[in-house]
Amino acid sequence: MRLWEAVTGRRRTKGPDLDALFGVPAAAVSLQAAMGFLPTGSGSVCFRAAAGAAFHALQNDVIAVIQADPDKPDVEVSVDGYGYTWLVVHRDPGDLAGLCTDLHVVNTTLVEQGFAGGLLCTMVPFADPSGRRFGLVYLYQQGTFYAFAPVAASSGSGTSAATEPPQARDNLLEISVRDQLSGELPMEADLSRWLAVWGAPGL
């Protein structure tokens, strides 16, 4: 047993190749050229936070590392209705490489400290001039990507769309993104794993 495992009581496990996140900037060039979509400047990592002060301190340490960057990206933390924590990073939309580095830091730090089991996904939102949006989602456990494109809820009933999660997905857009990026990123082949992440930050 290695010293780290002896001290922490946790065993390191070999997970998916998180370096796949570094392929997103090149994929974004293809998305812009072929479909007119651009990154919005935000990205997030979704995980189930562990109880206790140690994990809270780790989360604060991760935020401090990201904000130590000279560009000082904005970082916020929120909890969704399912109990998952979203750590959201905001950068200039033109600095997608920096954003993906930040997201990689969050993932690798949680993995290295023995919390890989709580990681759900990483998401980078994109938008086009017409207002359509989708999230390019990286599933940690599978090591693959897929597109999640919610359709905005109608406000015709008089209820604010901001208070209701969307109830439909733009499946055609999701498939189009998959087909466009299939040669650049490991895209998830099993459609049953294309999880709906309603209310995800940036969408």
**Is the predicted pLDDT of residue 147 greater than 90, yes or no?**
yes
Global pTM reads 0.85
**Numbers of helices and strands, H then E, in the chain:** 5, 9
The 3-state DSSP class for residue 142 equals coil
Least confident of 46-55, 138-147, 179-188: 46-55
Give the span between the Cα atoms of 34 and 86, in whole angstroms: 30
**Is the predicted pLDDT of residue 114 greater than 90, yes or no?**
no
Give the span between the Cα atoms of 147 and 123, in whole angstroms: 9
Mean of the pLDDT values across residues 40-45? 97
- What pLDDT score does 15 carry? 56
Residue type, 60: N
**Is the predicted pLDDT of residue 2 greater than 70, yes or no?**
no
- What pLDDT score does 141 carry? 93
Least confident of 64-68, 119-123, 152-156: 152-156
Residues 6+ apart with CB under 8 A from 133: 40, 125, 126, 127, 149, 150, 202, 203
**Is the predicted pLDDT of residue 188 greater than 90, yes or no?**
yes
- Please state which CATH class domain 3-151+166-193 belongs to: alpha beta
